[in-house]
């Protein structure tokens, strides 16, 4: 991993991001990022993508509890009564 | 969703509640259903994207809660446990439905020149993820783009980056190797980065 191409760097990006690169490879990786603006931008985009995924559904799941789907609740309660009957 | 964050987080009130559920207390069960049915339905919808399937899965999940509440150890929070039951039920449903072969993700991955340079060099995005997420149309765009990923990649991305399961948990839920989880996650993120790039690159008014 002496001379890293952009293609190789992007291949290793997943491991780097998860903290899985050994330290010597990490140093080569970071040296490339330091002199290659497109790879630096790619890394930042990648990081933002992960953050976008983690936040993209928060509003959906947070806004649900006010409206309990009554028909579904009744179906679930009924199913249990039916199951517990001898 | 990792064990370190959920460990020892079960409150005394929750212990009492779980005890009532174990004894078959009907009022407690109804409270459980009313509290969690909405959030769990939206989790199921995310995985299945079909209203009827999502409802079926939520019903199945509550039925399995009744059967397995004795096995709920209390080393995780009740909500964490329920979440996993629903995700598991949704994945099982998908597995029984899957008929067509997996689509390829290759067309969505970045291209490179002969010398290894990026064919379309990445450039900085106009706004940070946290700023972008304040806007509804961006959140919808992200969800739509995730929906364009081939299913095997979409599942790994949602389990890992949306629902916070770790590599081992994801491998177990999907019944695949850890290495496959890592590869798919990396490709899914790259594909999604490519899909979002045109929208994130421009400063939108
Ligand atoms: Zn580069």
ipTM: 0.88
Same domain, B23 and B76: yes
Same domain, B66 and B116: no
Same domain, B197 and B174: yes
> Rounded to an integer, what distance in angstroms lies between the CA atom of residue B59 and that of residue B191?
34
Same domain, B146 and B179: yes
Same domain, B70 and B122: no
Contact list, A56 vs chain B (CB under 8 Å): 133, 139, 142-143, 146, 162
Contact list, B29 vs chain A (CB under 8 Å): 77, 80
Nearest CA in chain A to B120: A38
Same domain, B91 and B116: no
The per-residue pLDDT for range B155-174, each reduced to its tens digit, is 999 999 999 999 999 999 99
The per-residue pLDDT string of chain A (86 residues; one tens digit each, 9 = 90 and over) reads 457 999 999 999 999 998 889 999 999 999 999 999 999 999 999 999 999 999 998 777 665 556 788 999 999 999 888 877 65
Out of B97, B120, B147, pick the residue that ends a domain: B97
Q: Residue B71: give its domain's CATH number.
A: 1.10.1740.10
Q: Does the distance separating the beta carbons of A48 and B162 come in below 8 Å?
A: no
Q: Say what the pTM is.
A: 0.89
Out of B39, B69, B97, pick the residue that ends a domain: B97
Same domain, B63 and B20: yes
Residue A5 Cα to ligand 1 midpoint, Å, equals: 6
Q: Under a CB-based contact definition with an 8 Å cutoff, are residues B19 and B70 in contact?
A: no
Q: Is A61 exposed, middle or buried (0-12, 13-18, 19+ CB in 10 A)?
A: middle
Parent domain of B91: 3-97
Contact list, B196 vs chain A (CB under 8 Å): 45, 49, 52
Q: Under a CB-based contact definition with an 8 Å cutoff, are residues B54 and B41 in contact?
A: yes
> Rounded to an integer, what distance in angstroms lies between the CA atom of residue B21 and that of residue B26?
8
Same domain, B11 and B65: yes
Residue B157 Cα to ligand 1 midpoint, Å, equals: 25
Q: Which of B122, B168, B185, B195 to mutate to test the interface with A (most CBs of A within 10 A)?
A: B122
Nearest CA in chain A to B184: A14
* Domain boundaries defined on chain A: 6-84
Same domain, B83 and B16: yes
Q: Under a CB-based contact definition with an 8 Å cutoff, are residues B178 and B171 in contact?
A: yes
Domain count of the fold of chain B = 2
The per-residue pLDDT for range B87-126, each reduced to its tens digit, is 999 999 998 887 677 889 999 999 999 999 999 999 999 9
Same domain, B54 and B88: yes
């Amino acid at each position: 991993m002496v001379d890293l191409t952009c293609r190789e760097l992007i291949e290793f990006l997943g491991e780097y991001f998860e903290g899985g690169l050994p330290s010597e490879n990490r140093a080569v990786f970071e040296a490339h990022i330091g002199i290659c603006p497109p790879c630096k931008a790619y890394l930042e985009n990648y990081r933002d993508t992960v953050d976008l995924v983690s936040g993209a559904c928060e509003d959906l799941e947070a806004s649900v509890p006010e409206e309990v789907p009554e028909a579904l609740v009744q179906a679930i309660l009924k199913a249990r009564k039916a199951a517990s009957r001898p | 969703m990792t064990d370190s964050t959920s460990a020892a987080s079960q409150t005394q009130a929750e212990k009492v509640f779980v005890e009532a559920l174990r004894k078959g207390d009907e009022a407690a069960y109804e409270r459980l259903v009313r509290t969690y049915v909405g959030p769990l339905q939206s989790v199921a919808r995310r995985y299945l994207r079909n209203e009827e399937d999502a409802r079926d899965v939520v019903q199945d999940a509550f039925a399995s809660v009744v059967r397995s509440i004795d096995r709920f150890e209390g080393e995780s929070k009740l909500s964490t446990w329920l979440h996993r039951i629903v995700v598991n039920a949704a994945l099982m449903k998908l597995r029984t439905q899957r008929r067509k072969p997996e689509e390829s993700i290759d067309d969505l991955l970045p291209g490179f020149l002969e010398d290894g340079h990026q064919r379309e060099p990445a450039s900085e995005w106009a706004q940070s993820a946290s700023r972008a997420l304040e806007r509804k149309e961006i959140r919808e765009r992200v969800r739509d783009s995730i929906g364009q990923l081939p299913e095997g990649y979409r599942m790994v991305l949602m389990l890992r980056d949306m629902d916070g399961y770790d590599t081992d948990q994801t491998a177990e839920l999907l019944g695949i190797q850890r290495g496959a989880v890592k590869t798919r996650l990396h490709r899914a993120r790259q594909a999604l980065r490519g899909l979002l790039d045109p929208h994130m690159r421009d400063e939108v008014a």
